[in-house]
Amino acid sequence: MPIQRGSVTFVRFHVESGLKEKRALAAGFKKKAFEPIDRGSDQDRSQGWVELENVDSAELTPSTFLFGERVLLSWRVDRLVVPKRLVKTEVDKWKNEFAEREGRPPTRHESRDQKVLVTQDLRGRAFVKTDTHDVSWETPSGELWIWATSTKVIEEIIEALEAMGVVLKPTSPGARVEALDPKLLLPTEALHHLERKES
């Protein structure tokens, strides 16, 4: 299970090198701290570090992410969601009014422009969908776990950690196999004998 919330699935890494000092960690986390979506902008997604115990806070002082020798925090992703069905309903309503007023149906270009206007108008009333993904780092052993399934989210977290100077090495079974010498993965002599007997 995750620390407090998120996926039951995790990705595991070994921290080859990275920040150890509390102040340096706090400064690194604050550089990628979560900031809410600005509804006045074109931005429809926002992501960054938040406290594990309070996902609405991005204060990120050492006392909020250090638990003994563990670093525990969350990666928060907010998405502005404008329901497509609502956009379609509003555009269809406009198309009917346009056809009555102009005596012809709107062109594709006119419909597309109206869809953009409707979407922008509905952004102000849209709701924000929030997801959080726990991250745990056992500093003595160097084990780091990202409790997420989304490749995009995992890549964002890795990028944020690497921007802090943390060097990560994947420790999944697949990553371990990739690190092996390819000669070790070739069929053994015993397997060659089995193939000859079968044919």
Q: What is the pLDDT of residues 97-118, one digit of tens each?
A: 999 999 999 999 999 999 988 8
Distance separating alpha carbons of residues 147 and 20, to the nearest angstrom: 22
How many domains are contained in the chain?
A: 2
Confidence of residue 71 (pLDDT cuts 50, 70, 90): very high
Instruction: Quote the CA–CA distance of 49 and 32 in Å, as a whole number.
Output: 6
- Among candidate residues 122, 149, 178, the one where a domain is terminated: 122
Question: Does 186 share its domain with 163?
Answer: yes
Under the phi-then-psi rule, with left for phi > 0, alpha for psi from -120 to 50, and beta for the rest, what region is 178? alpha
183 and 98 within one domain:
no
Is residue 43 domain-shared with residue 67, that is, in the same domain? yes
- Regarding whether 138 and 72 lie in a shared domain, the answer is yes
Q: Quickly state the pLDDT bin for 162 (edges 50, 70, 90).
A: very high
179 and 134 part of one domain = yes
| Whether residue 63 is found in the same domain as residue 148 | yes
110 and 22 share a domain?
no
Same domain as 17, residue 76: yes
Pairing type for strands 167-170 and 143-146 reads unpaired
pLDDT digits (tens, 9 = 90+) for 13-47: 888 876 667 788 889 999 999 999 887 777 889 99
* Average pLDDT across the chain, whole number: 85
pLDDT per residue over 183-194, tens digit each? Answer: 766 777 776 665
Q: Structure pTM?
A: 0.73
Q: Is the Cα torsion angle 13, 17, 18, 19 positive or negative in sign?
A: positive
* Same domain for 185 and 105: no
- For helices 108-123 and 84-102, angle between their N-to-C axes, nearest 10 degrees: 130
Query: Does one domain contain both 76 and 89?
Result: no
Domain boundary among 122, 148, 180: 122
Confidence of residue 78 (pLDDT cuts 50, 70, 90): very high
Asked, for residue 5, whether it belongs to a domain, the answer is no
Q: Which of 122, 152, 183 is the last residue of a domain?
A: 122
Q: Specify the pLDDT at position 1.
A: 41
Could you tell me the residue range of the domain that residue 117 belongs to?
Answer: 84-122
Is 3 contained in some domain? no
Residue 120 and residue 89: Cα distance in Å, rounded?
Answer: 15
**Quick check: is 140 in a domain?**
yes
71 and 145: one domain?
A: yes
